[in-house]
Amino acid sequence: MLHTPPGFVPAPVTLAPPAGDALVFAFAGAMLVVAGNEEAPVVPTLAQALAAGIDGPRHHLGRLAGTDCVAVTLGDTAPAPAGYRLAGLRSLFGTMPEPMLAVAARAFQVVDWDRSHAFCGRCGARTRERPGERAKECPACGLVAYPRVSPAMMVLVIRDGELLLARANRFRNMMYSALAGFVEPGEAIEDCVHREVREEVGIEIDRLEYFASQSWAFPHSLMIAYTAHYAAGALRPDGTEIADARWFLPDALPELPSPMSIARRLIDDTAARLRDGSHAQRAAASPAIE
C-alpha cells in the first residue's frame, strides 16, 4: 500500500539546495521519467537528470533514508531523453520498490497541484510560491491555494459470510472491487458510505467499522475504507457507474484490484477473517460506527 514509507521525512521546503545525489521524480503529464528496464525501473539522481536535460520547476518533498527527494514539473508533452522512458505510476506496481513508488505518488500530487494552480482561480493572475509552506499565493487578490486532497470512501459489505463486490463500467476486463465514492460538501464520511451504497446498488447497510486509509495519487484522493453489514434491500446496480454487483464467497472471489491498492487489502483481510470466523467475533466485540 502507498503509505508514507519508513525512513521518509516529509518537508515542503529546504534551507539548502539539493545535492547531486538527490532523487528526481520528474513528470511529463502523468508520466514519470525513469531509467532502467521495465522489470527494474530506476529514478535518476539530480546530477543524472541535469546531465540528460531533465529540469523544470522543483519542489522539495523530503528525505528518504537521508537522501533528498525532489519533484520536477515538465511540460505535459515533454519527451523522454535518450536512456530514459516515460511510465505511468500504475505500470510501476510490482517493479519499483514500494518506498520509492510511495514517494513518486507524493511527487505526482505535488506536480499536479503546481501545474493546476499556475494561475489564480479567482482573478486569473499568475500565482507565486508562498514562502515557508507548500502553497500558491495570488499577488493580486491574495487567494492561497494548497495541494488538493479529495476524500473518498470505500466500503466492503458483508452478508451471511459473503462479500459484496461490484464491477464498475470503467473497470478493465471482469475485475470486481469494493464500492467507493467521493465525499460531497457538507457530508460526513459515514453519511457518504450510506449514500453511495444506496445510490450504486440500492441496499441499506449498518455496523460500519473503520478499516484503514490510503493516499491514492490518481490524481489526489484519500481513500478511507470501511466494512459494513447488509441491512435491507435487493441489489439493483445503477447501470451508470456500476455494471454488475454480486455476493461472493471468500473462497470464490473474482478478478480483484492490484495488491498495491487499499481495495485489495480490504478484500483480502476481510475474506481471511470470514474464513476463520474472526470477523464475526470482532464485529460482536466492536461498537458500530454510524
Domains and CATH numbers, the chain: 8-116 (3.90.79), 150-283 (3.90.79.10)
pLDDT tens for residues 161-179? 999 999 998 887 789 999 9
Look at residue 288 in the predicted model and tell me its pLDDT.
47
Query: 135-144: b or e for each residue (b if 16 or more CB lie within 10 Å)?
Result: bbbbeeeebe
Give the N- to C-terminal CA distance of the chain in Å, as an integer.
Answer: 26
Neighbour-count burial of 158, counting CB atoms closer than 10 A to its CB (0-12 exposed, 13-18 middle, 19+ buried)? buried
Average pLDDT of the chain to the nearest whole number: 92
Q: How far apart are CA 280 and CA 210, in angstroms?
A: 15
pLDDT band, very low/low/confident/very high, at 42 (cuts 50, 70, 90): very high
pLDDT tens for residues 121-144? 999 999 999 988 999 999 999 999
Grid cell for residue 154: 470505500
- Is pLDDT at 43 greater than 60 in this prediction? yes
- Is pLDDT at 5 greater than 70 in this prediction? yes
Which residues are 152's β-sheet partners?
182, 223
DSSP per-residue letters across 91-139? GGTTTS-HHHHHHHHHHHHHHHHHHHTSB-TTT-PBPEEPTTSS-EE-T
Most confident of 12-16, 23-27, 36-40, 218-222: 23-27
Mean pLDDT on 22-51: 96
Locate the DSSP E strands across 48-91. Answer: 58-64, 67-74, 85-88
- Residue in the structure block whose three cell numbers are 522489470: 39
What 8-state DSSP symbol labels residue 179? E
Q: What share of the chain is helix, strand, coil (3-state, %, to 5)?
A: 20, 35, 40
Residues recorded for the chain: 290
pLDDT tens for residues 68-83? 999 999 999 999 999 9
Indicate the helix (H) or strand (E) that contains 269: helix 262-276
**CA nearest 101: which of 86, 91, 116?**
91
